[in-house]
Amino acid sequence: MLQQGANYDISDNEKTPLAKTVRTCRQLLKLEPALWLFVHTEGVEPTNNDSERALRPAVLWRHSSLGSQSAAGSLFLGRMLTVVTTLRLQGRNVLDYLTEACRAKRQGKPAPSLLPNTSIAVNLLPSVA
């Protein structure tokens, strides 16, 4: 049915409801392989529950604290929430990482990597067949 909808002939600047439906069908056909990836690839979940759960603490914090009051504060907050969420997902200690990052900065060295070590990475990434 998507293909039938996408096959209708419309002009590039047409603004009718039919044209909108045709464009939607065409976009869905482009995305179709990704939409059904969970069916063909073991380990890929059909929902975004994991992502929602990872974002929940940040959303709750933002609601209770009214967010940040500046662009710099928003940038810092986004980066810190990314670091904390990434480390927690990897089972790494947040305070240890931040201490190591501060020590590296004072010594003029690069920050420690947020990339998981190989043994953890294998467990986090879905197998690709």
**Domain enclosing residue 94, as ranges:** 49-124
For each of the chain's 129 residues, which pLDDT tens digit applies? 989 999 999 998 999 999 999 999 999 999 988 888 888 888 888 887 877 887 888 788 777 887 778 889 888 888 888 898 889 888 999 999 999 999 999 999 998 999 887 444 444 444 444
104 and 63 assigned to the same domain: yes
**Residue at 55: amino acid letter:** L
25 and 53 assigned to the same domain: no
Whether residue 120 lies inside any domain: the answer is yes
Whether residue 105 lies inside any domain: the answer is yes
Res 98: pLDDT:
94
**Tokens of residue 20, six digits:** 């909108």
**Residue at 11: amino acid letter:** S
Helix (H, G, I), strand (E, B) or coil at 79: helix
Res 121: pLDDT:
44
Whether residue 129 lies inside any domain: the answer is no
Res 127: pLDDT:
45
59 and 107 assigned to the same domain: yes
Whether residue 40 lies inside any domain: the answer is no
Whether residue 42 lies inside any domain: the answer is no
Specify the number of domains making up the chain: 2
68 and 15 assigned to the same domain: no
11 and 54 assigned to the same domain: no
61 and 23 assigned to the same domain: no
Whether residue 63 lies inside any domain: the answer is yes
56 and 115 assigned to the same domain: yes
Res 129: pLDDT:
41
- DSSP letters for 90-120: TT--HHHHHHHHHHHHHTTPPPPP-SPPHHH
8-state DSSP, 70: S
**Tokens of residue 83, six digits:** 């670091």
63 and 111 assigned to the same domain: yes
Q: Is the overall model pTM greater than 0.95, yes or no?
A: no
Res 4: pLDDT:
94
